[in-house]
Structure 1
């Protein structure tokens, strides 16, 4: 049974690589990975640009973004579950969110380094 839905930027080489790793780690197949962008039709539950600006996931019917979305995905993956559970602490989630916001500032350069513009 799928417990988490994750939307990712299919046009982003960095995102595709990360999702490929998460798919391999999702040994229990609890995550529904939905590609946004690229050649296929989009299945966006919210505005497409908003969805692509930050990482989004839905866990137990609740839409999450940023570090909270990563934490939801991690909770569904046995190997990463302890980190996802730790992120339920407001303090830990706050630290992860600040790190995620910093990552967003370098994401365009990383995308080019990994495999082209997005």
Structure 2
């Protein structure tokens, strides 16, 4: 069975890695393809966005090649593992707004919140080394 969604996540983020591990355990039908964009050899050009955009917010690719990002990615992956009724609640106007705001705050502060800032600076980490280097 082909995957329903390919999710691009920050594998160097402890919170992000735990979340994707929990989703992976529940993905018994293999509907989700997981891609850690911090892994060695990952090429963001294959996604069609910059590394900075991937670091800015979570992205996913649908079978037709279109991209979704932010909270919509979580809706899609949770629907793929059988949480459709819960996902429907996240689309309610007030709930959707709160989730969007909360996710943007987390994503913007993810490096600081996960202890990946040094000397008061939260700079984008260097890209992983290529296997061909």
Tell me the residue number matched to 2:128: none
Aligned equivalents of 1:3, 1:88: Cα separation in 2: 20
Q: Does 1:68 align with 2:79?
A: no
Q: Is the 8 A contact 1:56 1:65 kept in 2?
A: yes
Q: CA deviation at 1:82?
A: 2.0
Q: Please identify which structure carries the higher strand content.
A: 1
Give the number of the structure whose alpha-carbon radius of gyration is greater.
2
The number of aligned residues is 114
Aligned equivalents of 1:59, 1:83: Cα separation in 2: 21
Q: Please identify which structure carries the higher helix content.
A: 1
Q: Does 1:51 align with 2:25?
A: no
Q: Which runs of 5+ in 2 are unaligned?
A: 118-124, 126-133
Aligned equivalents of 1:58, 1:86: Cα separation in 2: 23
1:101 aligned to which of 97, 104, 110: 104
Tell me the residue number matched to 2:11: 10
Q: Is the 8 A contact 1:5 1:34 kept in 2?
A: yes
Q: CA deviation at 1:17?
A: 1.7
Q: CA deviation at 1:105?
A: 4.3
Provide the TM-score with structure 1 as the length reference.
0.78
Q: Is the 8 A contact 1:68 1:87 kept in 2?
A: no
Q: Secondary structure at the match of 1:6?
A: strand
Distance 1:40 1:14, change over 3 A: farther
Deviates more, 1:97-106 or 1:24-33: 97-106
Q: Does 1:84 align with 2:84?
A: no
Q: Which runs of 5+ in 1 are unaligned?
A: none
